[in-house]
Amino acid sequence: MANGGQPVTFLRYPGGKRRMLSFLSEHIPPRDKIRGCYVEPFVGGGAVFLWLQPKRALLSDINCELIDLYKCIRNNPQGIWEAFERIPEGKEAYNQMRKLRHRDLDPVMGAARLLYLNRTCFKGMWRHNGKGQFNVGYGGAARRWVITRQHLDTVAKLLQRVSIEYGDFEPMIDKCKSGDFIFVDPPYRPGMKEQSNAHYVGQQFTFADQQRLALALLRASERGVSWTMTISSHPDILRLYPNYRIIPMPRGTGRTPGVLTSESGEVIILNIK
Ligand SMILES: C[S@@+](CC[C@H](N)C(=O)[O-])C[C@H]1O[C@@H](n2cnc3c(N)ncnc32)[C@H](O)[C@@H]1O
């Protein structure tokens, strides 16, 4: 499955990299060439991890419910699938599920609920209101059964020897050592075209965060860590990376997976040759 075949993505994720895999694969080392750990500090739907299937990995994200979901799939994919199957279909059932609070549910039901909301909400968005309640509208059931029990079993197997952590990117990058490889896919720059990153959980990813990220990646480079990042081609961002290779990224059409057009406004920045 790695480096070819159907990727085993199980989440719909804004900014997910599934459609970019054929292009990205040219700029990510094959798993046998990664001497240390594969690290993804903005894991989201984990498209690159699930495609590459590295031998050792650390996955993290600031979205703690998402991290709970990964941990629960690793431990009990069967239990989640059975609970997911039992959740009724339709807008009313969706609204009932949406009202529940993650922290009030046991881990398996919490994970099944998140998977259900993700598979049936509008465009796979992951947004909360000021009170921390999931507030994306209903999108329909068409994508609910695109995933199967086998998907969850496969993902669980891939997660067996993986560290899964909740938290900000900076400490995750700071603990990387020589020989590790980081795939970096942060929320793109707010401002200009994207005023906010409201489709992600938590606070906005500000320009100060972008600066923090650039410094963390500079420190990582100095320690001999390799990394590849996807990011917006906004000039303010590019100025943060004066000494690295920058490659314009083609755009997935959104309609035909894998078919690429030009002019995405996104780039790959990398410190590997
Ligand atoms: C572009 S998405 C990653 C998509 C992923 N590569 C995929 O293919 O599905 C960016 C992720 O960064 C996370 N994030 C936002 N701020 C963060 C922070 N300060 N530290 C770590 N993760 C953060 C969001 O929760 C979101 O999951």
40 CB near ligand 1 (under 6 Å): no
Helix axes 64-75, 149-159, angle to 10 degrees: 100
17 CB near ligand 1 (under 6 Å): yes
- Give the per-residue pLDDT at 236: 87
In the chain, pLDDT over 90 holds for what percent of residues?
Answer: 70
Query: Mean pLDDT score of the chain, rounded to an integer?
Result: 88
Answer yes or no: is pLDDT of 260 > 50: no
Which domains are present in the chain?
18-62+167-270 (3.40.50.150), 67-155 (1.10.1020.10)
H/E segment holding residue 49: helix 47-52
Most ligand 1 atoms within 8 A of CB, residue of 61, 66, 168 to mutate: 61
pLDDT digits (tens, 9 = 90+) for 24-42: 999 999 999 999 999 999 9
Q: Is 41 helix (H, G, I), strand (E, B) or coil?
A: coil
Q: Is 122 exposed, middle or buried (0-12, 13-18, 19+ CB in 10 A)?
A: exposed
Express each pLDDT in 115-171 by its tens digit.
999 999 999 998 888 888 899 999 999 999 999 999 999 999 999 989 999 999 999
Q: Round to whole Å and give the CA distance between 64 and 201.
A: 9
- pLDDT digit string (tens) for 174-230? 999 999 999 999 987 644 444 444 445 555 788 899 999 999 999 999 999 999 999
161: exposed, middle or buried (Cβ count in 10 Å: 0-12, 13-18, 19+): exposed
The residues, any chain, with a CB within 8 Å of residue 212's CB and separated by 6 or more, are 170
Of all helices (H) and strands (E), which one includes residue 245? strand 245-252
User: Contact 156/77 with Cβ under 8 angstroms?
Assistant: yes
Residue 16 has pLDDT above 90, yes or no: no
Question: What pLDDT score does 5 carry?
Answer: 52
For residues 222 and 15, the model is more confident at 222
Can you state the angle between helices 107-120 and 91-99, rounded to 10 degrees?
Answer: 140
pLDDT of 144: 95
Is the minimum distance from the CB of 51 to ligand 1 under 6 angstroms? no
158 with 53: CB under 8 angstroms?
yes
**What is the distance in A from the centroid of ligand 1 to the CA of 186?**
5
pLDDT at residue 172 greater than cutoff 50: yes
